[in-house]
Amino acid sequence: MSSVGAGFRLVRAGWVLVREGVVAALPGDELFGLPKFGWRVARLFTRRRALAYERGDRLAKAVVRLGPSYVKLGQFLATRPDVVGNDIALDLAMLQDKMQTFPQAEAIAAIEASLGRKVGELYASFGEAVAAASIAQVHTAETLQNGVGSRVAVKVIRPGVRRRFFRDLESYFLAARLQEKYIPSSRRLRPVEVTQTLAQTTKIEMDLRLEAAALSELGENTRDDPGFRVPTVDWERTGRDVLTMEWVDGIKLNDIAGLTAAGHDLKAIAANLVQSFLRQTLRDGFFHADMHPGNLFVEPDGTIVAVDLGIAGRLGKKERRFLAEILYGFITRDYLRVAEVHFEAGYVPRQHNVAAFAQAIRAIGEPIHGQPAETISMAKLLALLFEVTDLFDMATRSELVLLQKTMVVVEGVARTLDPAFNMWKTSEPVVGGWISGNLGPRALLADARDGASALLALARQAPDLAARTERLSREIDLMAEHGLRFDERTAHAIGKAEARYSRSGRLALWVIALTLVVIASKLL
């Protein structure tokens, strides 16, 4: 029944997208066959008033009708231009996470249930909600410490959002499985894995203790960085459903007129924002992955304060090194090295030719070198790079796509502040410093030290590894003699899972087919 319910919810979502004109706004003229017929039918069922709106506005209205979980889905897919395409990703990125507030009494009940104390004991005063999003809303409050009052922001989880979101997740997984099964070309994009990433990301966002931990970690990493910080967390008043942090008094970064009136240097703010992001990415491997203007404030002294760290990105040391080498290779026009880095990182399958891939990389790099530096977009460079890797079967790397999305947003914000913003000149001190420290002689010494430590750890595990090898050898001998066998429970579980998978797909297809019959009958 769960699969049937997921199928009906999926059909309802499709119907809302049709009625609000989202499907009709797609470039259907490029389609052919059954997809083009479906697009034409969708145009017939589009609301007349929806045709007057731009595609982004149609998408926003449809998502709001579908509810908070679809707002979050849209925002997540905005981070995956490799899945939905650059144009759709830009439309999704414009979705405003603004929802109706829920009653203050429900917020108080959630706080008291999460922290096990009365609101009156926790806060000297607790005000009405000042902002509401798909997962939580924010209240203003005041705490009293040693007789000194402090204004704080209190973020509270929306009641029932977990249950609703994970119910809708069933529909997302059903759509992803059907896509993988019936659209072979989409398997490279791993739609089921993308949905699993969405589920995990949202689980983290719905536990405000984890957001508090991310704020704390980023705060420690950037403690000595000039002109950038995040709010401090009040751990005593933070739990799974509530996050209390310092109140930020500043001007939002999308208020250009307010920033100008306050006397801020917009060019300096733009440079500071990009350099702060690059420090987080290259130096720390942990970056704020939702740095749109609504999450960034500028304090009177020009310091940028980033809030809402529900989405964060991580890059390992190896990924950071590869990223730096790729950027450095483009700067020096060493396209063969850029191609080799992709193969060394395992991003491109080994069956492809390195020289042919280097030729494709050159097609991206050479046009860039003929442009003025201020017109070259690092984010566009990465987007073009992903387009080329598609030709060489490069599998989706979620951490790199999230980095690309964040870089697109950060660079876009910087160009809003300074239309002549030079991304390469601004990033050179950070990127160049990191490359010299991590790809030069000091890096070789650090790698040698890490290698020696790894060898020492391996030597300590040698007796255990020898015992495991001996056991494995005996098991392989037995397998060669008697063959590979499953016990009864394993065989039964495999058969049951396969039957459930096939049944779910058939049920969903029947639901969709019946819906199309109803639509066709109304049309005739």
Look at residue 502 and tell me whether its pLDDT is greater than 60: no
- Residue 154's H or E segment, with its range, is strand 148-157
Look at residue 455 and tell me whether its pLDDT is greater than 60: yes
Look at residue 509 and tell me whether its pLDDT is greater than 60: no
Strands ordered across the beta sheet of 148-157:
125-132, 136-145, 148-157, 242-246
Tokens standing for residue 354 = 């390195």
Domain 99-164+203-247: which CATH class?
Answer: alpha beta
Instruction: Please give the pLDDT value at position 119.
Output: 94
User: Cβ contacts of residue 67 below 8 Å, gap of 6+?
Assistant: 164, 168
Q: How do strand 296-298 and strand 251-252 relate by DSSP bridges?
A: antiparallel
Q: How long, in residues, is the chain?
A: 524
Evaluate whether 304 touches 272 at the Cβ level (below 8 Å).
yes
State the average pLDDT over residues 349-359. Answer: 87
Instruction: Please give the pLDDT value at position 371.
Output: 67
Instruction: Please give the pLDDT value at position 339.
Output: 86
What would the 3-class secondary structure string for 462-491 be? HHHHHHHHHHHHHHHHHHHHHCCCCCHHHH
Interior CA angle at 96 toward 94 and 98, to 5°? 175
Query: Residue 264's pLDDT band (boundaries 50, 70, 90)?
Result: very high
Evaluate whether 47 touches 6 at the Cβ level (below 8 Å).
no
Look at residue 16 and tell me whether its pLDDT is greater than 70: yes
Instruction: Please give the pLDDT value at position 185.
Output: 66
Distance from C-alpha of 193 to C-alpha of 173, rounded to nearest angstrom: 9
Percent share of the chain, pLDDT over 90: 24
State the average pLDDT over residues 470-484. Answer: 69
Distance from C-alpha of 457 to C-alpha of 389, rounded to nearest angstrom: 37
State the average pLDDT over residues 125-129. Answer: 93
Percent share of the chain, pLDDT over 70: 72
Instruction: Please give the pLDDT value at position 485.
Output: 59
Instruction: Please give the pLDDT value at position 285.
Output: 92
Look at residue 17 and tell me whether its pLDDT is greater than 70: yes
User: Alpha carbon of 477 to those of 259, 467, 480: distances in Å?
Assistant: 73, 16, 5
Phi then psi dihedrals of residue 233, to 5 deg: -100, 135
Instruction: Please give the pLDDT value at position 396.
Output: 60
Q: Domain boundaries in the chain?
A: 3-96, 99-164+203-247, 251-439, 486-523
Query: Residue 237's pLDDT band (boundaries 50, 70, 90)?
Result: very high
Look at residue 464 and tell me whether its pLDDT is greater than 80: no
- The per-residue pLDDT for range 270-308, each reduced to its tens digit, is 999 999 999 999 899 999 988 888 889 999 999 999 998
Between 257 and 20, residue with greater pLDDT: 257
Instruction: Please give the pLDDT value at position 1.
Output: 42
User: Alpha carbon of 198 to those of 72, 195, 286, 294: distances in Å?
Assistant: 9, 5, 19, 22
Its sign, for the CA torsion 268, 274, 277, 278, is negative
* Rg of the chain on CA atoms, in Å: 26
Distance from C-alpha of 124 to C-alpha of 279, rounded to nearest angstrom: 38
User: Cβ contacts of residue 195 below 8 Å, gap of 6+?
Assistant: 169, 172, 173, 176
Between 215 and 100, residue with greater pLDDT: 215
Please state, rounded to an integer, the average pLDDT across all residues of the chain: 78
Evaluate whether 256 touches 266 at the Cβ level (below 8 Å).
yes
- The per-residue pLDDT for range 71-83, each reduced to its tens digit, is 777 766 766 665 5
Name residue, tokens 């209190």.
Answer: 154
Evaluate whether 164 touches 69 at the Cβ level (below 8 Å).
yes
Least confident of 234-248, 408-422, 427-441, 488-502: 488-502
Distance from C-alpha of 318 to C-alpha of 14, rounded to nearest angstrom: 41
Look at residue 36 and tell me whether its pLDDT is greater than 90: no
Q: Which candidate, 124, 87, 127, places its Cα nearest to that of 107?
A: 127
Strands ordered across the beta sheet of 304-306:
228-229, 304-306, 296-298, 251-252
Between 365 and 378, residue with greater pLDDT: 365
Look at residue 54 and tell me whether its pLDDT is greater than 50: yes
Tokens standing for residue 230 = 């995040």
Evaluate whether 168 touches 253 at the Cβ level (below 8 Å).
no
Q: Within 13 A of 26's CA, how many CA atoms are on the CB side?
A: 21
Instruction: Please give the pLDDT value at position 411.
Output: 83
Question: How does DSSP classify residue 67?
Answer: -
Look at residue 433 and tell me whether its pLDDT is greater than 90: no
Least confident of 90-94, 131-135, 238-242, 258-262: 90-94
Q: Which residues of 114-137 are buried (b: 16+ CB within 10 A; e: fewer)?
A: bbeeebeebbeebeebebbbbbbb
Number of H helices, E strands in the chain: 22, 10
Least confident of 125-139, 165-179, 210-224, 468-482: 468-482
Q: Give the Cβ contact number of residue 321 at 10 Å.
A: 21
Q: Which of 298-307, 339-348, 492-501 reaches the highest mean pLDDT?
A: 298-307
State the average pLDDT over residues 476-486. Answer: 64
Interior CA angle at 79 toward 76 and 84, to 5°? 90
First to last CA, the chain: 32
Look at residue 259 and tell me whether its pLDDT is greater than 50: yes
Distance from C-alpha of 411 to C-alpha of 331, rounded to nearest angstrom: 18
Instruction: Please give the pLDDT value at position 444.
Output: 53
Instruction: Please give the pLDDT value at position 37.
Output: 77
Which active-site residues does the annotation give?
A: 290
Look at residue 406 and tell me whether its pLDDT is greater than 70: yes
Q: Which candidate, 15, 398, 2, 1, places its Cα nearest to that of 166?
A: 2
Question: How does DSSP classify residue 392?
Answer: T
Instruction: Please give the pLDDT value at position 87.
Output: 66
Evaluate whether 140 touches 127 at the Cβ level (below 8 Å).
yes
Its sign, for the CA torsion 52, 57, 62, 64, is negative
Instruction: Please give the pLDDT value at position 427.
Output: 81
Between 233 and 371, residue with greater pLDDT: 233
State the average pLDDT over residues 419-446. Answer: 73
DSSP SS3 for 225: coil
Tokens standing for residue 421 = 């913003």
Torsion, CA 135, CA 137, CA 142, CA 144, rounded to 10: -20
User: Alpha carbon of 27 to those of 40, 186, 287, 491: distances in Å?
Assistant: 11, 19, 35, 47
